[in-house]
C-alpha cells in the first residue's frame, strides 16, 4: 500500500511538470547599440497594419472589390493642346467647319441622276441585248443602286455601298462603247461647236474627251494615265471600255 502511494505521487509530480511547461530556453540579449533594419511594409494601403497581407489584385492594381482605377490599369489621356494658329491656318485652307463639311462631303449619285447622265452621254436605256446592255443593267440594278421605293415608303439611300458602287462600275463598263460612239454627236461634248472624240486617230485618249466625261478640264497627267490603261489592256476595245468607265467612276463616286 505504501509502495502504491509512492508511485502515485511520482505520477502526480510528472503530470504537474507537464502542465507548468517545459524549461525556459536561453535567448541571446540584443545589443542596444546595433541598428535594426525596419520591416518593409507589405501592405501600404493599410497604415494601421502595414505588414498585413495585401488584398490588392496584382493583375489590376486595385482591390478586388474596389471600383477606382490606378495609373497602371487606366488609359492615360494625353493632354494635347492645339495651337490656335494651326487651327486658324486650317480654317483658312479648308474653310470653316460649316463650309468645309459641304464642300468635302460626298453622297452617292442618285438613281434618276445616273439615268440622266447616261442618256446625255448617248446611252440608250431602252436597248436590250445579250449580254445585258447598260440600260438593262441600270433598270435591273435599281435595288443595288439604292433607288427609292415609293410604294413601300422607302426613301433613296444617301451614302454609297459596296454593291451599289460595283453595280455602277458594271454599268459604266457596259455603257462605254455606246458613249465612245455617240460622243462626237453629243452637243454637251462639243467645244466651240466642234465635235469631240474620246480617242484620236492613233487611239490615244484626248483631253477634250476626258473633260466631256468628268465635266471639267482634263490635265496632261490624266491623259497619260488614260493612255497607260489602254496599253495594259488585253485588247484595244477592252482598254477603251475600262478607261472610260474608270474616268466616269472617279468623277461620280467618292471612292
Which pTM value belongs to this model? Answer: 0.60
Provide the percentage of residues in the chain whose pLDDT is more than 70.
Answer: 66
Report whether 255 contacts 160 (CB < 8 A). yes
pLDDT (0 to 100) of residue 72: 61
* Alpha carbon separation from 242 to 148, 169, 229, 232, 237 (Å, rounded): 29, 9, 7, 11, 9
Q: Is residue 58 part of a domain?
A: no
Indicate whether 141 pLDDT > 80.
yes
Strand partners, 205: 199
pLDDT in tens, 50-74: 555 555 555 544 555 555 556 665 5
Kindly report, residue by residue over 170-183, the tens digit of the pLDDT: 999 999 999 999 99
Neighbours of 153 (CB within 10 A): 7
- Mean pLDDT score across all residues of the chain: 79
Per-residue pLDDT at 255 exceeds 60: no
Q: State residue 180 phi and psi, 5-degree precision.
A: -65, -40
Residue 236 forms part of a structural domain: yes
Length of the chain equals: 255
Q: Say if CB 230 and CB 243 are below 8 A apart.
A: yes
Q: How many domains does the chain have?
A: 1
Instruction: Note whether residue 70 is domain-resident.
Output: no
pLDDT at 14 over 90: no
- 184 within some domain: yes
Q: Minimum mean pLDDT among 43-52, 219-228, 230-239: which range? A: 43-52
- Any domain includes 90: no
Separation CA 210–CA 225 (nearest Å): 11
Residue with the larger pLDDT of the pair 115 and 190: 115
Sorting pLDDT into bands at 50, 70 and 90, what band is 122?
very high
Task: Give SS3 for 77.
Answer: coil
CA 130 to chain centroid: 40
pLDDT of 13 higher than 50: no
pLDDT at 127: 95
Q: Is the peptide bond before 113 cis (omega within 30 degrees of 0)?
A: no
Grid coordinates standing for 153?
415608303
Burial class (CB in 10 A: 0-12, 13-18, 19+), 212: buried
Cα–Cα distance between 246 and 12 in angstroms, integer? Answer: 113
Largest CA distance in the chain: 152
Q: What is the pLDDT of residue 20?
A: 46
Distance between CA 233 and CA 101 in Å, rounded? 38
Residue span of the structural domain in which 167 resides:
111-252
Residue 172 lies in a domain: yes
Give the model's confidence band at 10: pLDDT under 50 very low, under 70 low, under 90 confident, else very high.
very low
The answer to whether the beta carbons of residues 117 and 252 sit under 8 Å apart is yes
Four-residue CA torsion sign, 94, 255, 174, 198: positive
Q: Which residues contact 195 (CB under 8 A, 6 or more apart)?
A: 183, 184, 185, 189
* Cβ neighbours, 10 Å, residue 24: 6
Split at pLDDT 50, 70, 90, the class of 88 is: confident
pLDDT-based confidence at residue 36 (cuts at 50, 70, 90): low
In a domain, residue 233? The reply is yes
Residue 9 lies in a domain: no
Return the percentage of the chain with pLDDT > 90, whole number.
48
Amino acid at each position: 500500500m505504501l509502495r502504491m502511494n509512492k508511485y502515485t505521487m511520482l505520477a502526480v509530480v510528472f503530470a504537474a511538470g507537464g502542465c507548468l511547461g517545459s524549461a525556459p530556453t536561453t535567448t541571446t540579449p540584443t545589443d542596444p547599440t546595433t541598428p535594426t533594419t525596419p520591416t518593409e511594409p507589405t501592405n501600404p494601403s493599410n497604415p494601421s497594419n502595414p505588414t498585413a497581407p495585401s488584398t490588392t489584385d496584382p493583375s489590376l492594381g486595385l482591390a478586388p472589390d474596389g471600383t477606382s482605377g490606378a495609373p497602371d490599369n487606366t488609359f492615360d489621356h494625353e493632354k494635347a493642346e492645339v495651337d490656335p494658329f494651326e487651327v486658324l491656318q486650317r480654317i483658312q485652307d479648308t474653310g470653316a467647319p460649316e463650309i468645309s463639311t459641304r464642300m468635302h462631303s460626298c453622297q452617292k449619285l442618285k438613281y434618276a441622276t445616273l439615268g440622266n447622265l447616261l442618256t446625255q452621254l448617248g446611252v440608250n436605256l431602252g436597248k436590250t441585248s445579250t449580254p445585258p446592255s447598260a440600260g438593262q443593267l441600270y433598270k435591273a440594278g435599281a435595288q443595288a443602286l439604292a433607288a427609292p421605293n415609293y410604294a413601300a415608303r422607302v426613301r433613296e439611300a444617301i451614302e454609297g455601298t459596296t454593291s451599289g458602287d460595283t453595280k455602277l462600275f458594271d454599268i459604266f463598263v457596259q455603257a462605254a462603247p455606246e458613249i465612245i460612239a455617240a460622243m462626237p454627236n453629243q452637243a454637251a461634248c462639243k467645244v466651240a461647236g466642234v465635235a469631240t472624240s474620246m480617242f484620236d486617230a492613233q487611239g490615244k485618249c484626248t483631253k477634250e474627251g476626258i473633260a466631256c466625261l468628268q465635266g471639267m478640264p482634263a490635265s496632261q497627267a490624266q491623259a497619260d494615265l488614260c493612255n497607260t490603261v489602254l496599253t495594259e489592256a488585253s485588247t484595244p476595245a477592252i482598254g477603251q471600255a475600262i478607261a472610260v468607265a474608270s474616268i466616269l467612276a472617279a468623277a461620280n463616286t467618292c471612292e
